[in-house]
Amino acid sequence: MAITLNSGFKMPMIGLGVWRMEGKDIKNLIFNAIKIGYRHFDCAADYKNEEEVGEALAEVFQAGIVKREDLFITTKLWNSDHGHVVEACKDSLKKLRLDYLDLYLVHFPVATRHTGVGTTASALGEDGVLDIDITVSLETTWHAMEDLVSMGLVRSIGISNYDIFLTRDCLAYARVKPAVNQIETHPYFQRDSLVKFCQKHGVCVTAHTPLGGAAANTEWFGSVSCLDDPALKGLAKKYNKTVAQIVLRWGIQRNTIIIPKSSKVERLEENFLVSDFELTNEDMDLIKTIDRNYRTNQPAKFWGIDVYA
């Protein structure tokens, strides 16, 4: 299953996010995922593991398990590098040991004080609040992203965590349209208006946190997971699937890309096996009714400011 982006390139609908994956675990994770069938990996400079991912990819290619052109690799520009887009992209490519990226995203629609290319600490001011750089506009950042395409460093470019208004603005000033908007969306945070707006204007939506963050976000942010919802549990029983499979299938039937994360092989397999059943229209409508407009990923915990307010 794949979606053809507005850039003409195909993006696999199921990917694996590598957020909060560390060290030697990444090598095993990527090897196991590729054996299962994953061909799409979602990375970011801020995950602080691009070098480890690069080592794993190099070994996979050297072993002949897959070729570079078989994989779709995404990574992201961090907030502090908005004024240094080309340098940041080249730094990520070097760490990932790649000649090009399939997709490069603006991680958040906010530029912060530059702390050195490739360093991704969230720069805080003396007041403990994120030190936002008001000299670099999102339009300036985007035009630098477009340069990456013409330089051959990146095949497609996109945005992440943009709302309707920021997405609309990007579409207005873009010479190269954003191919993707990666956002948090799951049954408790469906964001139907944003999803439909993006899709109407040819911007593919990737769902990060497609399972509502589960244990990881509960640990970090104290959030509640949709995987415990009675309605979803009922559907899992009806279809003889896990709740996670129901949620991921719902995401696919919304025509969104899904990038769940897991370090457990059995979960990797489970999350990938969602193409052998289809939710009925009635059950899709049922899931619509459990939306809580509930965001689970809250960077304000680290930034001292709610950038979504």
Identify which of 84, 108, 208, 203 has the alpha carbon closest to the alpha carbon of residue 160: 108
3-state secondary structure of 10: strand
Residue with the two structure tokens 């996670």: 244
Per the annotation, does 208 bind a ligand? no
Q: Is 290 exposed, middle or buried (0-12, 13-18, 19+ CB in 10 A)?
A: middle
Task: Specify whether 47 is catalytic.
Answer: yes
Euclidean distance between CA atoms 106 and 167, whole angstroms: 12
Q: Is 233 exposed, middle or buried (0-12, 13-18, 19+ CB in 10 A)?
A: middle
Q: If you compute the radius of gyration of the chain from its CA atoms, what whole number of angstroms results?
A: 19
**240 phi-psi bin (left φ>0, alpha ψ -120 to 50, beta other):** left
Residue 96: both structure tokens together: 């990932």
Hey, which residues does 257 pair with through a beta bridge?
206
Rounded (5°) CA angle 138-41-188 = 70
Contacts of 201 (CB under 8 A, 6+ apart): 167, 171
Q: Which of 38, 47, 104, 188 is catalytic?
A: 47
Euclidean distance between CA atoms 165 and 135, whole angstroms: 20
Contact 194, 166 (CB under 8 A): no
Identify which of 39, 43, 50, 34 has the alpha carbon closest to the alpha carbon of residue 9: 39
Cβ atoms within 10 Å, residue 44: 23
Annotated binding residues for substrate: 107
Annotated binding residues: 107
Active-site residue set: 47
